[in-house]
């Protein structure tokens, strides 16, 4: 066999070899896409619906805590009861002091705009002299006095009359 024959034989073999390799690569690529298409309808869907899988997700994204109201079942023992007050039913009436702290303190704490201060007996004595009914009325309906303007319910019209009356009793020391 001459050297030329041998090299042309090698060339043929190489060409054939490359064709086979090319065909195998094409088949592999096609198989990958077919497998992906099938998995999208089957395997992925099954995994997503797997109760153990969804449970694991729920476990990971659950809130770190929640406020327990009376009647709630304690869940898993990891219940943070914020405070005795917070555990009261949401609709529960606020006490006079609670109303004062949330709605009246802004003015009556420091005497803003002429508001008589909490605990200022000299300021409250003449006002109490008008009678509790008048004080309540002024607090609920609002009141323009000589010292300044008292807005209806201190601006918190969402509070009930009873809550305001309790706050008046607390604030005026009666």
Please tell me the distance from the alpha carbon of residue 8 to that of residue 53, in angstroms, as a whole number. 61
**Measuring CA to CA, how many Å separate 12 from each of 5, 6, 16, 39, 171?**
11, 10, 6, 41, 105
Please tell me the distance from the alpha carbon of residue 18 to that of residue 94, in angstroms, as a whole number. 86
Shortest separation between residue 72's beta carbon and ligand HEC, angstroms: 30
- Closest among 133, 151, 134 to 142, alpha carbons compared: 151
> What number of CA atoms fall less than 13 Å from residue 76's CA on the CB side?
8
> Which is nearer to ligand HEC, 88 or 106 (by Cβ)?
106
Should residue 118 be labelled a site residue for ligand HEC when binding is judged by CB under 6 A? no
Should residue 140 be labelled a site residue for ligand HEC when binding is judged by CB under 6 A? no
> Which is nearer to ligand HEC, 65 or 114 (by Cβ)?
114
Which of 22, 65, 114, 119 binds ligand HEC (CB under 6 A)? It is: 114
Which of 130, 132, 160, 174 binds ligand HEC (CB under 6 A)? It is: 130
Q: Which of residues 38-97 bind ligand HEC (CB under 6 A)?
A: none
Should residue 173 be labelled a site residue for ligand HEC when binding is judged by CB under 6 A? no
Identify which range of 14-22, 27-35, 79-87, 134-142 contacts ligand HEC by CB under 6 A.
Answer: 134-142
- Closest among 129, 104, 126 to 115, alpha carbons compared: 104
> Which is nearer to ligand HEC, 72 or 134 (by Cβ)?
134
Please tell me the distance from the alpha carbon of residue 60 to that of residue 73, in angstroms, as a whole number. 21
Position of tokens 């009873």? 162
> Which is nearer to ligand HEC, 7 or 174 (by Cβ)?
174
Joined together, the tokens standing for residue 19 give: 């064709």
- Closest among 86, 69, 173, 70 to 127, alpha carbons compared: 173
Should residue 139 be labelled a site residue for ligand HEC when binding is judged by CB under 6 A? yes
- Contact residues toward ligand HEC (CB under 6 A) are 99, 103-104, 106-108, 112-116, 127, 130, 134-135, 138-139, 143, 145-151, 153-156, 164, 167-168, 171-172
């Amino acid at each position: 066999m001459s050297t030329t024959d041998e090299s042309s034989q090698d060339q043929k073999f190489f060409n054939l070899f490359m064709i086979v390799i090319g065909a195998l690569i094409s088949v592999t690529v096609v198989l990958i896409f077919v497998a992906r298409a099938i998995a999208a309808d089957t395997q992925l869907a099954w995994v997503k619906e797997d109760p153990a899988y969804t449970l694991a997700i729920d476990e990971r994204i659950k809130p770190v805590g929640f406020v327990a109201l009376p009647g709630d079942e304690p869940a898993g023992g990891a219940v943070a009861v914020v405070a005795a007050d917070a555990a009261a039913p949401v609709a529960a009436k606020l006490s006079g002091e609670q109303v004062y702290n949330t709605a009246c303190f802004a003015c009556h704490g420091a005497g803003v705009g002429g508001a008589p201060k909490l605990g200022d007996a000299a300021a409250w004595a003449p006002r109490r002299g008008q009678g509790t009914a008048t004080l309540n009325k002024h607090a609920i309906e609002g009141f323009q006095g000589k010292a300044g303007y008292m807005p209806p319910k201190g601006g918190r019209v969402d509070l009930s009359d009873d809550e305001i009356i309790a706050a008046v009793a607390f604030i005026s020391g009666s």
